[in-house]
Amino acid sequence: MTVSLCLFFRWQIGSDFNLLFSDRTDGVIEISILEHWFNVVRGYAPWSTTFYFFPYRGTLAFNDGFFLYGLPYSLFRRFGADPFLSSELVNVVLRMVAFAAAQLFLRRSLGLGFLWSLLGAVLFTLSCNMAMRANHEQLLSVGLVPLFAWLVWNAVAAFAAGTLRRFTLWASLAAVLMSAWLLTAYYMAWFTLFFLCIFTLLGVLTNPRAAVLWVRGLTRPCWISMATVAAVFAVSALPFLILYLPKAGASGMHPWSEVLQYTVHPLDLIHVGSGNLLYSRLDELLNGFFRPDMPRYSEHTTGLTPLLVIVFGVACASLWTRRSGSRSRAIWLLATTAVVTWLLTLRVHGWTLWAGVFDVVPGAKALRVVVRYQIFLAAPVIAVAVAYLARQYASVPSPLPVIIAVMLVAEQVTLVQPIALNRSNEMARVLAVPPPPPECRSFFVSHARPWTDLSPDIGAIYSHNVDAMLLAEWFRLPTINGFSTFRPTDWDFVGPERPDYLQRVTSYVRAHGLEGVCALDLVTNQWESDPLRSARQAE
C-alpha cells in the first residue's frame, strides 16, 4: 500500500505537499465545501446551507455534497492542518480505502490468493484514468466501489445461507454507505447503483427459472428482513433526497445536447493521455490521426490501459465459453455487466444507446460527463482480469501471467498528473485578507485578483467567485458570490471589472432585501462597509 500511495502522490511528496491535485477553480470550490462541513461540525452552520449563494437555503445541493470527505477533513483541520493540506490528506485517505477495499473484495469475495489480490489492489490504486482525472477530487470516491461490493457480497452470501440477521446487518451497512455516498459524490454513487441494477437484471434474465424458484421460496422472515433493509435505505437516504430533489426539479438538470458530447468515443476506450509511461506516443498518434481537434488532455482522458483491456477481453471470451461454480458465475456476471454497460455509453457517428438511459433511468439526467463511467469500470475490469490471470497461473504455472502482471502495473503509471494548486500561494492569499468589519452581515467581491493562470473568460467567471466562497467559509460571513454546476436563477456575478457589475449586485441586494452588505477588494485586500452608497444616490 505504501509504495502505491507514494507513487500516486509522488508529486505532492516531492514538493512537501505544496503542489496539490486540481487547480484554483474546481479545487477551491471543493475546499470551500469541505470547509463548510468543518463549520457544520463545530456548530457554526446548518448542514444543508453554505455561506455562499446568500441568502438562498439548501445551497449545498448546487454541487456534490462531499459529506464523507468532510468528516476526515474536519479531523485534519481540528489538529491544525490548513484547508489545502487537509483536502489533500483526504485524498490520501481515499486512496488508502481504495487499496484496502480492493484487496479485501478480491481476497474474501472472489477467493483470489494474497499476491493476486495484492496485484488487483495495486492496479486499482494506481489506475491511470483516475490519476489523470484527479483534478476532480469527487471522482476519488470510486475507491468506495470495492467496499460497497464486499458489503453486498456478504449480504447475498448470508441470505443464501439463510442467516437473515447477518443479511440484514450487511445489507443495512451497504444501504447506509450508499446513502452517505450519494450525499458525497453523485457520479460514482449513481454509476455503482446503475451497475448493480444491470448486474441483477442480467442475473435474472440469464437464469429466470432459478429466479422464479428463489422468489417462490421466500418466507415471511425473508420478506421482513428485506423490508427492514429497504426501510434503512429510505431513512438514511432522506437527507440526500430532501436536499437534491427540489434543486433537480428547479434546474431541469443537464440537456441532452450537452450530455451527448461527453459520451464515449471509441478511441476513449484506451485514451490514456499523452503522459502515459508506455503509450504516450500511441495515444498521440491515434488521436492526431482520427480526431486532431481533440485536446491532449480533457474530460475524455479516461481510457483504460490497452493491455488491461486485452486481458479483460480474453477473460470475457474464456468466461463465456466455460463457467461453473458460484464464484465463476459471479465473475461471469461481473464481466458481462461491464461489457453491456460499457456499450451503452459508446457514441458512434453521433448515435448512442445512452439516449435510452438518459430518458428512462432515474437520476441519469443529472450526469453530464458520461465518459467518467470508465473510471468506475476500472474496478470490475481489473477484478475480472486479475481473476483470469490467477486462474491461468493456478492451472498451468508459467512466467507469462507474472510478466503480464508486471506490465499491467507499469502501464498504469502516467508521467503527467493534474497538479496545479499551489498550497503556499493560496494560503498566503487567504491570510492576507483581514477580518471583515463588525458591521458586515454579508459581502460581495468588488475586484478580483489577477488571473495569470486562467483565460480571461474563465477568470471572469471563477476567480472572484471561488475566492469569495472560500473566504466566506473561512470567516463564516455569507457572500452573495459563488459558482458551481448549478446556480440560483438570479445569479449574475460574472466579471467584476465590467461597468455594470455594481448595478447587478445592487439589483440582487435590493431584490433580496439584504442589509449590511460589504465589498471586498481582492486586489488591495480591503473591505468597504457601504459600497452601494453611490448606486443608491444615483437613483
Give pLDDT tens digits for 498-515: 999 999 999 999 999 999
Choice among 305-314, 394-403, 501-510 with the minimum mean pLDDT: 394-403
Q: Is the pLDDT of residue 23 over 80?
A: yes
* DSSP assignment letter at 265: -
Q: Tell me which residue of 475, 397, 485 sits closest to 438, measured CA to CA.
A: 475
| Residue whose C-alpha cell is 448493480 | 196
Which cell goes with 520? 471586498
Which cell goes with 147? 467496499
pLDDT 10s digits, 255-289: 999 999 999 999 999 999 988 999 999 999 999 99
Helix-helix angle 423-432:456-475, to 10 degrees: 60
What are the C-alpha distances in Å from 234 to residues 66, 126, 230?
20, 35, 6
Backbone angles phi, psi at 262, to 5 degrees: -105, 15
| Structural domain boundaries in the chain | 2-410, 433-538
pLDDT over 90 for what percent of the chain? 81
Confidence of residue 488 (pLDDT cuts 50, 70, 90): very high
Q: Tell me which residue of 487, 467, 490, 461 sits closest to 479, measured CA to CA.
A: 467
Which cell goes with 184? 458525497
CA distance 378 to 133: 13
Q: Is the pLDDT of residue 538 over 60?
A: no
Helix (H) or strand (E) holding 164: helix 164-182
Which cell goes with 58? 439548501
CA distance 470 to 482: 9
Q: Is the pLDDT of residue 324 over 80?
A: no
Which cell goes with 539? 437613483
Which cell goes with 366? 443529472
Question: Degrees (nearest 5) of the Cα angle 461, 467, 468?
Answer: 95
What pLDDT shows up at residue 323? 59
Task: Please state the rounded mean pLDDT for residues 155-160.
Answer: 93
* DSSP assignment letter at 276: B
Higher-confidence residue of 535 and 333: namely: 333
Contact 482, 469 (CB under 8 A): yes
Backbone angles phi, psi at 446, to 5 degrees: -90, -30
pLDDT 10s digits, 95-154: 999 999 999 999 999 999 999 999 999 999 999 999 999 999 999 999 999 999 999 999
pLDDT 10s digits, 346-385: 999 999 999 999 999 999 999 999 999 999 999 999 999 9
